[in-house]
Chain A
Amino acid sequence: MFEKATVYIVDDDQQARESVTALVQSMGLTALAFPSAEEFLEHVRPDTHGCVVTDLRMIGMSGIELQDALRQHEIMLPVILITAYPRTSLTVRAMKHGAITLLEKPYEDDDLWDAVREGLLRDEQQREKRLRQREIRKRLESLSEKQQQVMEFMVEGIANKVIARRLDVSIRTVENRRHEIFEKMQAKSLAELVQMVFTVREEVNAG
C-alpha cells in the first residue's frame, strides 16, 4: 500500500538513527535518515510524500521546531515525535500542531508501526484531497463571472426567483445558468455542488 512512500528519520544520535532506519526498513518501507532537522529541511520539498519520525531533543533545532518549520513552509508531512521524557505540555503542543503522536522511547512493539501507518495514511488522504481540490478549482475557474454570481447565491440556498430579482434578470435566465453550472461542475445535485465549493474553501482557510 505504501510502497512509494518514504519515512524520513531525523535523529542526532547515530546509533538511534540507524536503529530506527533498520526498523522502518524491516517494515518494508523506504527510509531516509538525517542527522539534524536543518539538513532535513534542506532536502524536503512541498510535494514530498511520506511521514517524518524525529527525535524531540536534538542539538540545534528540536523536533517541535522542525514541525513548526515544516508548517511554515506549507509542507503538510505528518510528524511522529519520539522522546525519552514525554512532558504533558510538549505533548499537547505537538498534537495541536498536528503531530500524529508523541512516542516515549523505548516504545511498545507496534507503536511505531501504527504511528507510521497512520502517518502515511493521512499523507495519502491529504494528497487525494489536494488532487480533488485542484480538480474542483479547475472546474470553478471554468465558470463565467455571471455563472459564478448565480452559484454564490445557490450555495447560500437562495431560491431562483429571489436570485432573479437580486440580479435583475428573468427566472428563466437563472434557470439556464443553473443548468450550465451543474454541467460545468459535473455535480449531480445541489448538495454535491455545495460540498465541492466548501472543499475548496476549506483548503483556502486551512492554507
Chain B
Amino acid sequence: MASITDLQTIDWAASARTFFDDSDSAMFVFQPQDLQLVKVNACAEQWMGISWSQVSNFRVDELLESDDSDSFADLIAACRARQSFATAESVWLRRSQRGPLEVNVTVGQLPAEPEPLGLLIVREIDASDNLHRELRETNTRLVQQREAQYRLLVENAPLCIHSIDVQRRLSSINPAGTAMMGARDPGELIGRDYLSFIDQTDRERIERLLTEAYQGHTADFEFTCLTETGKRRFKSNFIPITDADGEVKKVIGTTEDITGRVQALQQLRINSRALAVADVGIVIADARLDDVPIVYCNAAFQRITGYPQQEVLGRNCRFLQAHDQGQPGAEELSEALSAQRECTVLLRNYRKDGTMFWNELSISPVRDESGVVTHFAGFSKDISARVAAESQLRDSEVRFRTLCRDAPLGIFLTDVDGRCNYVNEIGARICGQSRQAIYGDGWVRTLHPDDRSRIVKAWKAAVRKQQKFELEARFCHADGSITWGHVWANPHLSDQGEAIGYVGSIVDVTERKQALRELEESERRYRTLVEDAPEAIMVVDMDDGRFVDWNDATLKLFRSDAETIAGKFLWDFFPEKQPDGRDSSEAAKEVMRASLGGESPAFEWMHVDSAGNEIPCEIRLTGLMFGDRQLVRGTVTDISQRIADQRQLRRTRLAVESTSDAMFVINEQGQFIDVNQTACDRLGYRRDELLTMTVSDINPNYPMEAWPGHWRDLKEAKKAVYESVHLKKDGTSIPVEISKSFATVGGEEFAFAFVRDITERKKVETLLESTQFAVDNNVSAIVRINSAGRLIYVNHAACQDLQYSRDELLSMHIWDIDLNWPEDDWLDRWNQIKHAGSSMIETMHRRKDGSVVDCEVTACYVSFDGEDFVFAFCVDITDRKQAQQRLRQRETQLAHVSRLSTMGEMVAGIAHEVNQPLYSILNFSKATKNNLANPTEKNLQQIATWNHQITEAATRAGGIIKRLRAFVSQEPVECSDVEVHSLIKDALELVAYEIKQANVTIQTDFCPGSVVVLADRVQTQQVLVNLLINAVEAMERSNPETRRIAVRTRKYEQYIEVAVSDSGPGFHDCNERTLFDPFMSTKDGGMGMGLAISKTIIESFGGRLTVESDKNEGATFLFTLPLAKNHV
C-alpha cells in the first residue's frame, strides 16, 4: 500500500497512472467546487460497485457517512488551508457493496490544469487492526501515566526508595535516599555493592534477608547504615520485583532514617535524668566515635567549666584536666569507660579562665536496643566548696587534736547526751583508766563510789539544761589510790545556739588538796588551845563511842541538840565511807588509837549532820587518858565555805585563762603587766616574752610616740572599742577587735584590753560581698520578700524578666506579679514556707506588659537580724513546660501506635471472637427458619427462645467491637475515675482468645469491693493487655498442663497494687535490668516497645511498674496506681 509520503513524491504525470490503478486503496478524484466525481480507480470501482461510466453521477460527499455532516467540508477546508493532505479516521463508507464499511480517509489536492483536482483516498480499517490500535493506545497512555506517577512518587518521596539488581548492586536511588546517605549525587552510590552500606554487625543478617528476597520473600528490618556522614539507624524493607517468567529481577526497598527516633528515646531517658538534677552539668559523649567526643553539654556544664558549648563539642572530656593529667580519678574513669560501666570520680579540672575546681563526675553508659553502648552520659558537679570545707574541717580537727594532746590539762568532749567521745591522755591518767574505758558512759565507773550517784545526777541535770558544769571529783585508780580532779565543762554551742556537746577539762588537784590540808592542820593546832573556839570541840569515849562532852559549835555543826547528841554515837555522824573510800568507823578508830598513843593526828574528815548532809571537816585529835577510860578530844572545823571560796577563785582564774579573747593588762607606759594564755597562743609568744614587751611591739597602729595620747583618750572615755591589727611573732598579722577599759586598782592605773580575733568575721564579710554580687548578677531572678509580702530586694535578672524597673518592683507586692500567690492567702503561704524552711513550686508570673510566664520558684525562709524574709529564686520554665507537653503528646502517640501494633498481633483472636457469636446467630436463625416451616406450638416456643439467644449473641459481638474500638481510639489522654476490677475483666475479655488458644488457666484474686483510681482507662487497659499477652507468650514453651496466669489486686492505704504472674520460665538477671528499655525484647518477633511504654504510662499516672522473677518460678509484673482522692 502506498503511503502518503509516496503520493507527495510521485511524479504524477509519469507514474500516477500505475499507482492510481494498482493501489489497493480506493481513490476518488473529484472537482473541488461541486464535489462531482471525475475519476475512480479499480479498487474504488470494485468496492463501490459503480462503473467508470457512472462516476459523474456521484458527488464525493455522498460516499461518506459521518455523524457530523460538515465533516467532509471541514476536511477539504483543512486540506486547502494546509496545502497538504488532511486525514480523518473511522469514517463510514456509505455506498459499499459490502455494506457499511469503516475506513480511514485522506483528502488531498492533485496538481491539474486549469485548476487542481481533489483526491479522496479511502483505506479499509481492519477490525482487528482497530482493536489492537485502541489497546495499544490505551496501554501506552496508562504506561505513561503510571511512569509519570511513579517517577513523581519516587523523586519526591520523603523516604529513600532504591532498587537492587541481581548482582546485589544498588541500581537506583531517589534524591531523598541520596541525601540520607549523605551523598551529593546518586552516581556516587549507584553500582556499589548494597551490603557495603551496611554496618558489619548487621551485614550477615541483611545478606540472608536479601538472598531470601531473590527467592521472592519480602522482609522488613532495621540496620545500622554506613553513610557518608557516619553511622545512622535505618528501617528498611525488601520487595522483590518479578518479571513475566516469575524470576526476581530486582529488589526494591524503602528506607527510613530512624536514628532520630532511637536518639529521641535515648534523649528522653537522658532528659528525665537531667531534669532530676537540674543544676548538675551534663555531658554526653559518643562512644562509637574515636576518642569518645562530647556531643552534648547542658547550660550548667558550660556554667561550671566556663567553656561555651562550641568549644566543648567534639573534644574528649579530659581537656578539662588541662596540664594536670594522670590524676588517680582519671585512671579510674578511663577504666570504667573501657569496661562500659558506671562510675563516680573526683577530678581536679580547670575552667576556661584557668582556675581549678573539684569536679565530681559521674558517668553512666547509655545503651541502644541491642545493648551496645552508644553514649556515655556524664554528670558533673562543682564541689570545690565542699572539698574546701572538708579540708578546712580536717585542718581544724588536726589543730584541735594537737592542742588536746599537748595541753597540760585533761580535756574531754561529749556528745549532746553527755556521753564522752574524746578524752586526751592526761584526762585518762587523772581518771585512772584507759581512754577507751572512759568513752561513752565509761567515765562513771572511774568515779569514787561515794561520789558517783551525786556526780552523775548533777551531770545529767546540767546536760538537760545545757548548763555549765563544774565540780571536784575523786577518781579511784586500779591501785587503790585516789586522785582529786577538778572537772569543768562548757556546753559547745552550734551557730544556731543549740548544744551539740560539751567541751571540758580536768585538772589534777590532789596535791593542792594536800597542801591545803597541811596548812589548816597547823592552824588547828593553835585553835585547840582555845576552849571556846568557833570550831566544834567534842570528847568521845573511845570504848563505846559515846559523846562525853561537846561545845555549842558541835551542836551547830551536826544540827543537833544536847539531848539528842547525848544518846548518839560518834559514827552516827559519819557517812558509811569517807571520800577516800575507807570505812568511816575503821578509819576513825585507827586515828583515835593513834591519838591515845600520844600523837595528835589532824586530818580531813567527812561528817554528816543529823539531816544527812555531808560536811567536809578538818579534825585534830588529842588523846586523854582518865584512869582506864580512854577519851579522845576532837577539834572539828567545817571547811565547806573554804572549799567553796577556793573553788570560786579557781573559776575566775580559769575563766580568764580559758576565755577565747586574748587579755592584756597594760600600764601607763604601754607595757604588758599581765597576759592570759589565749594572748600567748594567739600571738605565738611565750608569756615571759610578752611581759617584756609593749603595745607598740604588737600593734603597728600605736607607735610609742602615739601611746600617751591614746592613754589620755582612754582615761577620759573609760572604755573604747575599735578594730585594729595585731602582729604575730612570725610576722603575719591578724585583724582584731579590741575592747579596752580603764581602771584604777590600788592607786595604780591600768588598761584592760580584751582582744578578739575577727579573721573569721572579716572572711564572712568578704564572702557576703561576693555572695551579694552573685545574687545581684545571677541569671535566675531573685527577689526577697518581707513578712508583709513586699518585695524588698530584686536583682537585675528579676527586673529584666518581669520588665519592670527596680524602683517599680520595690514598690510592689508579691501578689502583683505571682498569679498563684493571692493577697488573701499570703499569711498561709508565709507560714507554710516558714514551717518547711524552703519549698519549690511551679507558678506563673505576670510581666509588666501583661504577658504570663511559667516559673519555677524556690522559696527559702531566712531569719536575719530579727527580721524574717523569704528569698524566691525564679526560673523561667516556659520552654521546659512546652517540652514536657510535647513529650506527653509524643508519648500518647507512641502509646496509640503501640496499641495498634498490639491489636495487629491480636487480629486472629479478634476475628475468632467476632466469628463465634456470628456463627451462633447463623445457626439459630437457620433453626428458626426450619421451625417456621413446621409451626407447631412447641416449635414456635423454641423460636422465641432462640430469638432471645440471637439477641444475646449479637450483643456479645457488639460488645467485642465496642471494646476494640475503645482500645484503638486515639482520644486525648484524660484522667478520670476508673474502676480497676472492671478494667481487668475487660482486658481479660480482649485477650480471651489468646488465652484459650494457649490453653492458659486464669486465676483472679481481687481484693474486696470496688477500687477506683485516677487514670486514663484506655492506656491502663493497654498496660494490662500488654502484660497478659507477654505472660501468654512467656509460657509458649511451658507444659500446657501448668500454664497459668494469676491476676491479683491488693488495696493499700494510698494505692492499689495489681500483679500479673505467669508460670513461665522467668527471666535471667541480665534481662531484668534492661527489661523496661525501649527495643528490648526477649521475644523473637517483638518490637520491644510494650514494657517501655507500659512503664511510661503507669508512671505518668503516678504509679510504678516493677517486675519480680525467680528463675523457673515464672515472672510477676506489679504495678501500682494511686487511689482516687475521694475513694481513699
Whether the pair A59, B999 counts as a contact (CB closer than 8 A) is: yes
Whether the pair B923, A19 counts as a contact (CB closer than 8 A) is: yes
Per-residue B-contact encoding for A17-28, CB less than 8 Å = 1, 0 else: 011101101110
CB distance from B16 to the nearest CB of A (A): 76
Whether A167 sits at the interface, judged by CB under 8 Å, is no
Chain A positions within 8 Å of B, measured between CB atoms, are: 13, 15-16, 18-20, 22-23, 25-27, 57, 59, 84-85, 105-106, 109
Which B930-957 residues have a C-beta within 8 angstroms of A? 930-931, 939, 942, 946, 949, 952-953, 956
Selected A-B contacts with CB under 8 Å, 19 pairs = A15-B916, A16-B916, A16-B919, A18-B949, A19-B920, A19-B921, A19-B946, A19-B953, A23-B926, A25-B927, A26-B929, A26-B942, A59-B999, A85-B912, A105-B919, A106-B918, A106-B922, A106-B923, A109-B926
Q: What separation, in Å, do the CA atoms of A23 and B922 have in the docked complex?
A: 9
Query: Which chain B residue has the least Cβ–Cβ distance from A20?
Result: B923
- Which residues of chain A are within 8 angstroms of B942 by Cβ–Cβ distance? 22, 25-26
Q: What separation, in Å, do the CA atoms of A34 and B1070 have in the docked complex?
A: 48
Query: Contacts A25-B942, A26-B927: A19 and B999 contacting too (C-beta < 8 A)?
Result: no
Whether the pair B927, A15 counts as a contact (CB closer than 8 A) is: no
Query: Which chain A residue has the least Cβ–Cβ distance from B917?
Result: A15
Whether B502 sits at the interface, judged by CB under 8 Å, is no
Query: Contacts A15-B949, A15-B953, A15-B956: A22 and B915 contacting too (C-beta < 8 A)?
Result: no
Query: Contacts A18-B920, A26-B926: A106 and B915 contacting too (C-beta < 8 A)?
Result: yes
Which B1082-1127 residues have a C-beta within 8 angstroms of A? none
3 nearest A-B residue pairs (beta carbon): A19-B923, A26-B930, A26-B927
Query: Contacts A25-B942, A59-B996, A59-B999: A19 and B928 contacting too (C-beta < 8 A)?
Result: no
- Which residues of chain B are within 8 angstroms of A26 by Cβ–Cβ distance? 926-931, 939, 942
Query: Which chain A residue has the least Cβ–Cβ distance from B945?
Result: A22
Whether B924 sits at the interface, judged by CB under 8 Å, is yes
Could you say which of B911, B912, B930, B952 contacts A23, with CB atoms under 8 Å apart?
Answer: B930
Q: A22-B949, A23-B926, A27-B930 are in contact. List 10 more A-B contacts (CB 8 A).
A: A13-B916, A13-B920, A15-B916, A16-B919, A19-B953, A25-B927, A26-B929, A26-B939, A84-B912, A84-B915
Query: Which chain B residue has the least Cβ–Cβ distance from A18?
Result: B949
Whether the pair B996, A19 counts as a contact (CB closer than 8 A) is: no
CB distance from B926 to the nearest CB of A (A): 5
- Which residues of chain A are within 8 angstroms of B917 by Cβ–Cβ distance? 15
Q: What separation, in Å, do the CA atoms of A13 and B914 have in the docked complex?
A: 13
CB distance from A118 to the nearest CB of B (A): 18
- Which residues of chain B are within 8 angstroms of A105 by Cβ–Cβ distance? 915, 919
Whether the pair A19, B930 counts as a contact (CB closer than 8 A) is: no
- Which residues of chain A are within 8 angstroms of B918 by Cβ–Cβ distance? 106
Q: How many A-B residue pairs have CB under 8 A?
A: 65
Could you say which of A13, A23, A85, A106 contacts B927, with CB atoms under 8 Å apart?
Answer: A23
Which B943-998 residues have a C-beta within 8 angstroms of A? 946, 949, 952-953, 956, 996-997
Per-residue A-contact encoding for B27-53, CB less than 8 Å = 1, 0 else: 000000000000000000000000000
Query: Which chain A residue has the least Cβ–Cβ distance from B920?
Result: A19
Q: What separation, in Å, do the CA atoms of A19 and B942 have in the docked complex?
A: 12
- Which residues of chain B are within 8 angstroms of A57 by Cβ–Cβ distance? 997
- Which residues of chain A are within 8 angstroms of B911 by Cβ–Cβ distance? 84
Q: What separation, in Å, do the CA atoms of A27 and B923 have in the docked complex?
A: 12
CB distance from A121 to the nearest CB of B (A): 19
Whether the pair B946, A22 counts as a contact (CB closer than 8 A) is: yes
* Residue in A19, A27, A109 with the greatest tally of chain B CB atoms within 10 Å: A19
CB distance from B118 to the nearest CB of A (A): 71
Query: Which chain A residue has the least Cβ–Cβ distance from B922?
Result: A106
- Which residues of chain A are within 8 angstroms of B927 by Cβ–Cβ distance? 19, 22-23, 25-26
- Which residues of chain B are within 8 angstroms of A16 by Cβ–Cβ distance? 916, 919-920, 923
Q: What separation, in Å, do the CA atoms of A59 and B1002 have in the docked complex?
A: 13
Which B587-631 residues have a C-beta within 8 angstroms of A? none
Chain B positions within 8 Å of A, measured between CB atoms, are: 911-912, 915-924, 926-931, 939, 942, 946, 949, 952-953, 956, 996-997, 999
CB distance from A136 to the nearest CB of B (A): 41
CB distance from B983 to the nearest CB of A (A): 24
Query: Which chain A residue has the least Cβ–Cβ distance from B934?
Result: A28
CB distance from A43 to the nearest CB of B (A): 22
Query: Which chain A residue has the least Cβ–Cβ distance from B939?
Result: A26
* Residue in A26, A84, A85 with the greatest tally of chain B CB atoms within 10 Å: A26
Whether the pair B949, A19 counts as a contact (CB closer than 8 A) is: yes
Q: What separation, in Å, do the CA atoms of A109 and B926 have in the docked complex?
A: 7
Query: Which chain B residue has the least Cβ–Cβ distance from A17?
Result: B920
- Which residues of chain B are within 8 angstroms of A109 by Cβ–Cβ distance? 926
CB distance from A110 to the nearest CB of B (A): 9
CB distance from B210 to the nearest CB of A (A): 31
CB distance from A44 to the nearest CB of B (A): 23
Q: What separation, in Å, do the CA atoms of A178 and B949 have in the docked complex?
A: 67
Could you say which of A19, A22, A25, A27 contacts B919, with CB atoms under 8 Å apart?
Answer: A19
Q: What separation, in Å, do the CA atoms of A84 and B912 have in the docked complex?
A: 7
- Which residues of chain A are within 8 angstroms of B929 by Cβ–Cβ distance? 26
- Which residues of chain B are within 8 angstroms of A23 by Cβ–Cβ distance? 923-924, 926-927, 930
Q: What separation, in Å, do the CA atoms of A105 and B923 have in the docked complex?
A: 10
Q: What separation, in Å, do the CA atoms of A18 and B948 have in the docked complex?
A: 12
- Which residues of chain A are within 8 angstroms of B949 by Cβ–Cβ distance? 15, 18-19, 22
Q: What separation, in Å, do the CA atoms of A183 and B824 have in the docked complex?
A: 124
Q: What separation, in Å, do the CA atoms of A18 and B916 have in the docked complex?
A: 12
Q: What separation, in Å, do the CA atoms of A7 and B928 have in the docked complex?
A: 18
Q: What separation, in Å, do the CA atoms of A109 and B927 have in the docked complex?
A: 10
CB distance from A20 to the nearest CB of B (A): 6
- Which residues of chain B are within 8 angstroms of A106 by Cβ–Cβ distance? 915, 918-919, 922-923
CB distance from B950 to the nearest CB of A (A): 9
Query: Which chain A residue has the least Cβ–Cβ distance from B932?
Result: A26
Query: Contacts A15-B949, A27-B930, A59-B999: A22 and B923 contacting too (C-beta < 8 A)?
Result: yes
- Which residues of chain B are within 8 angstroms of A85 by Cβ–Cβ distance? 912
Q: What separation, in Å, do the CA atoms of A57 and B915 have in the docked complex?
A: 14
Q: What separation, in Å, do the CA atoms of A19 and B928 have in the docked complex?
A: 10
Q: What separation, in Å, do the CA atoms of A22 and B912 have in the docked complex?
A: 21
- Which residues of chain B are within 8 angstroms of A13 by Cβ–Cβ distance? 916, 920
CB distance from A116 to the nearest CB of B (A): 12
CB distance from A98 to the nearest CB of B (A): 25
Q: What separation, in Å, do the CA atoms of A178 and B952 have in the docked complex?
A: 71
- Which residues of chain A are within 8 angstroms of B956 by Cβ–Cβ distance? 15
Q: What separation, in Å, do the CA atoms of A42 and B912 have in the docked complex?
A: 29
Q: What separation, in Å, do the CA atoms of A177 and B573 have in the docked complex?
A: 151
Q: What separation, in Å, do the CA atoms of A106 and B931 have in the docked complex?
A: 20
Whether the pair A15, B920 counts as a contact (CB closer than 8 A) is: yes
CB distance from A141 to the nearest CB of B (A): 47
Q: What separation, in Å, do the CA atoms of A23 and B931 have in the docked complex?
A: 9
* Residue in B921, B922, B928 with the greatest tally of chain A CB atoms within 10 Å: B922
Query: Which chain B residue has the least Cβ–Cβ distance from A12?
Result: B996
* Residue in B926, B930, B931, B952 with the greatest tally of chain A CB atoms within 10 Å: B926
- Which residues of chain A are within 8 angstroms of B920 by Cβ–Cβ distance? 13, 15-16, 18-19
Q: What separation, in Å, do the CA atoms of A20 and B926 have in the docked complex?
A: 10
CB distance from A101 to the nearest CB of B (A): 16
Q: What separation, in Å, do the CA atoms of A116 and B946 have in the docked complex?
A: 21
Could you say which of B916, B924, B996 contacts A22, with CB atoms under 8 Å apart?
Answer: B924
- Which residues of chain A are within 8 angstroms of B919 by Cβ–Cβ distance? 16, 19, 84, 105-106
Q: What separation, in Å, do the CA atoms of A25 and B924 have in the docked complex?
A: 11
Q: What separation, in Å, do the CA atoms of A16 and B913 have in the docked complex?
A: 12
Query: Which chain A residue has the least Cβ–Cβ distance from B1040?
Result: A60
* Residue in A18, A22, A59, A105 with the greatest tally of chain B CB atoms within 10 Å: A22
CB distance from A53 to the nearest CB of B (A): 11
CB distance from A57 to the nearest CB of B (A): 8
Q: What separation, in Å, do the CA atoms of A18 and B923 have in the docked complex?
A: 9
* Residue in A13, A25, A106 with the greatest tally of chain B CB atoms within 10 Å: A106
Q: What separation, in Å, do the CA atoms of A16 and B931 have in the docked complex?
A: 19
CB distance from B291 to the nearest CB of A (A): 58
- Which residues of chain B are within 8 angstroms of A20 by Cβ–Cβ distance? 923
Q: What separation, in Å, do the CA atoms of A15 and B916 have in the docked complex?
A: 9
CB distance from B958 to the nearest CB of A (A): 14
